[in-house]
Structure 1
Amino acid sequence: MGFVSERALQNLHKYAYKGVDKSPLSKYVLNPFWTWFVTLWPLWVAPNTITLSGLSIVFLNFATLFFYDPAYLAEKGGVVMPNWVYFSCSIGLFLYQTFDAIDGKQARRTGMAGPLGEMFDHGCDAMNTTLEVIMASQALNLGRSWWTVASQIATLANFYLTTWEEYHTGQLFLGAFSGPVEGILIIAAIYAISGVYGMLTFLRLTNVPVVKELPDLPLNDAFMVFGAFGVAYNLQSSYRNVRQAMLASGKSTTQPLLLLLPFVVSAGIQVFWLTHPHYNNSAIINSPLFVPFLCAWGLQFAHQVGRMILAHVTSSPFPWWDWMWVWSLVGAVDANLPMLVDRAPIIQTSETNRAIIVYLTLAVSFAAYGRFCTLVINDITNFMGIACFTVRKKDKDGNWQESVPSSAPEDKKKS
């Protein structure tokens, strides 16, 4: 027991997952499919193995896309992606959603449901968020642009809001239209359309059949407008649920709003770094460093929300501070020295040095998040006497036992 305190670990016994999904699509179409699909998995497959398998598919899609477009230039640089790459991204994202939906069902089938599963699930979701932003922006032909940065901010904000809401209300709330359900299917559809028409630059809303009187916008611009409305809706929806929970418990309804500031601060630091003057005719947003920068940002965000989820399942104080802010702030201030004090950067003095600091930031962010995941998994599995990737539990004598006997009837295997 090193990373997580003994008191916090004791609170794991009080944890119980609560979720609300009001999506008609999920209830009447997807959930019956998920209920059937989970039966295809043997009971010896651990739920976290299913979750990690889904994320591995996304990593494969990500690697494939950058094999063909390593500089993230798309058609602007003369790179034309094979259509099958977009189709594979569409299928991969749908599979990720499916695997992400059935891991909880598998946990109940095998008697492995618990706080570790929620943390592992949310951790994979947090990493997938940035990967999908990068891939979807490529499919939408946004590429190295502030539109992609705006997409990153909006998508991470939605994830942060959901986690912030769950921390205060004690349950995961998915409305009639949510990112994990309809949002993912929309992105999968964008990949599929890109596979048919190429990147979405010229395909316009006015060409969409059935619906008339639409503004004459390209689908990529229309998607960005839709995303902005989505963030605004989720903000008021999440706060409404949090406010109701605070009123019911007799607590302040404004104090939770202060806990949105950590996201504002972290995102502000990243944007500040990206807005640095074009010293030596170079800028991160216009260079191949753009994608590594976004990946480092995504890993730091995953670390941030991972600590929020840990605080939720252990009934611990909300994490206000993340030490990775200092690292990124140093890089941002250094890059902006020409604007702040009219002098050249101290560290990022050349394109080579800038590349070194960006890739070093990526490495440090990966190491920090990897360390967090490893320590938390070790502490929880040791405390609860469970394994992360096998369906096993420790008995009272400390010996490993199968969580569910393979010979047990199906109805007795469900918990």
Structure 2
Amino acid sequence: MGYIPEDALANLRKYAYKGVDKSLLSKHVLNPFWTWLVTLWPKWVAPNTITLSGLIMVLINFATLIYFDPDYLAERGGAPGPPHWVYFTWAAGLFIYQSFDAIDGKQARRTGMAGPLGEMFDHGCDAINTTLEVILAGRALNLGRSWWTVASQIASLANFYLTTWEEYHTGQLFLGVFSGPVEGILLIVGIYVVTGFAGPTFWDTPALTFLRLDKVDIITKYIPNKGLNEAVMALGAVVLAFNIITSYYNVYKAKVDAGQGPFRPLLHLLPFPISAALQIFWLSSPSFSRSFIVNSPLFMPFLCAWGLQFAHQVGRMILAHVTKQPFPWFDVMWLWSLAGAIDANLLRLIGRQPLIQHSPENVKIFIHLTLAVSLLSYTTFCAQVINEITNYLGIACFTVRKKDETGAWRRAASVDKITTNKKA
């Protein structure tokens, strides 16, 4: 069975991208740069090729982390870390990713390849990048294996889920004055640059001490003098709260304008806290020692598996958006995570040792198996959806071509020239 029912395939031809970007930085600084950058790409290069090229840059960044710090340790107590120059490459790779992610839509309009496949492919790469940047930024901020990194994962995924949920209910992608794809990414680029110069331990500096406010009694009385890295986490919480309010306001307004109930969409937020709660329950299992996974080299594979499951979850949501299908309430990978979480917590639940994860070696095997199953589930989803969309629309994923009425392939730019001009 496919992911797109027969009666929903026709909606692929009705899809048209709609977006709003209120970022002043994007409008006055970045967009002129992106408009120039896209002209450097030949028109025979497919938009999805540009998107994938950007993700490859992030994957290279992640590969350097695995090479230099496979155990994902914070630099405390003499623990070695990546050379400082590596953080500059992370900054460059992420900036390239952002640039390529911004121009793939422009390339789609230049080549006449704008459509639902590009929307799906773009969101899929963004979903993967979200978790990878959580891991990389956690290392740059010297958080490493910690619940702060878990909190960062939850906040980042929640922001992405909110954006996708908002697009599903409003029909357009809304980027506010401070958004993850623009200001959020540039903030992380800045963190990488600072770490490259000062090292990860710089972020352990107490924030009030750094700002020379630690002698001001009225401030120290109400604000704890925590590290700069924890202050960054607090800023992320504020941004998340702002985005929750903004996203719901946009959904509320869209539903009221359409004469529909504005409160039912709130129920569609439930899948995210359910899936996140499963991961937290698993991570907090008391087996061997409290938070065994968080404090072991298994932490990074666990986060990667979590990120892949999340990418599958939001991928199905954006697919429902472009094909006008009902909201996807359930994800089959929840069952796997639930089984893993219950097994790891049997001692807490019924007072007996886990059936599967009863030794450190078994936990290691099961976490890596979870990563493999999550990867297989997501890649299968991507391959099948790409196959269904390209077959129905008669297009190619990584080349600028389209089938005509006879089934022959030809350049897509001439086929969609009029449509592209109207969309532009």
Alignment partner, residue 111 of structure 2:
110
Aligned equivalents of 1:206, 1:392: Cα separation in 2: 59
Deviation at 1:252, TM superposition (A): 1.3
Counterpart mapping for 1:260-339 below 5 A: 260-279=269-288, 283-339=292-348
Q: TM-score, normalised by structure 2?
A: 0.93
Deviation at 1:74, TM superposition (A): 3.3
Per-residue CA deviations over 1:186-242 (Å, capped at 9, x if unaligned) read 000000000000012227465369xxx886543211101100111111111100000
Alignment partner, residue 54 of structure 1:
54
Counterpart mapping for 1:334-345 below 5 A: 334-345=343-354
Alignment partner, residue 22 of structure 2:
22
Deviation at 1:404, TM superposition (A): 2.9
Q: Aligned in 2, Cα 1:113/1:343: closer, same or farther, shift over 3 Å?
A: same
Q: Give the letter aligned to residue 107 of structure 1.
A: A
Deviation at 1:132, TM superposition (A): 0.1
Deviation at 1:244, TM superposition (A): 0.5
Alignment partner, residue 148 of structure 1:
149
Deviation at 1:282, TM superposition (A): 7.3
| Counterpart secondary structure, 2:144 | coil
Alignment partner, residue 79 of structure 2:
78
Q: Aligned in 2, Cα 1:31/1:205: closer, same or farther, shift over 3 Å?
A: farther
Q: TM-score, normalised by structure 1?
A: 0.95
Aligned equivalents of 2:297, 2:143: Cα separation in 1: 14
Alignment partner, residue 257 of structure 1:
266
1:358 equivalent among 367, 381, 386: 367
**1:94 has 2:103 as partner:** no
Q: Give the letter aligned to residue 219 of structure 1.
A: L
Alignment partner, residue 400 of structure 2:
391
Alignment partner, residue 40 of structure 2:
40
Deviation at 1:80, TM superposition (A): 3.0
Aligned equivalents of 1:353, 1:73: Cα separation in 2: 22
Q: Give the letter aligned to residue 138 of structure 1.
A: R
Alignment partner, residue 194 of structure 1:
195
- Higher mean displacement: 69-78 or 191-200: 69-78
Q: Aligned in 2, Cα 1:278/1:349: closer, same or farther, shift over 3 Å?
A: closer
Deviation at 1:163, TM superposition (A): 0.2
Aligned equivalents of 2:182, 2:403: Cα separation in 1: 36
Structure 2 gaps of 5+ residues are none
Q: Give the letter aligned to residue 246 of structure 1.
A: K
C-alpha RMSD of the superposition: 2.0
Structure 1 gaps of 5+ residues are none
Contact 2:22–2:175 (Cα < 8 Å) also in 1: yes
Counterpart mapping for 1:220-235 below 5 A: 220-235=229-244
Q: Aligned in 2, Cα 1:206/1:39: closer, same or farther, shift over 3 Å?
A: farther
Q: Give the letter aligned to residue 176 of structure 1.
A: V
Q: Give the letter aligned to residue 204 of structure 2.
A: T
Q: Identity rate of aligned residues, in percent?
A: 66
Alignment partner, residue 11 of structure 1:
11
Aligned equivalents of 1:349, 1:377: Cα separation in 2: 40
Contact 1:296–1:361 (Cα < 8 Å) also in 2: yes
Alignment partner, residue 66 of structure 1:
66
Aligned equivalents of 1:188, 1:282: Cα separation in 2: 30
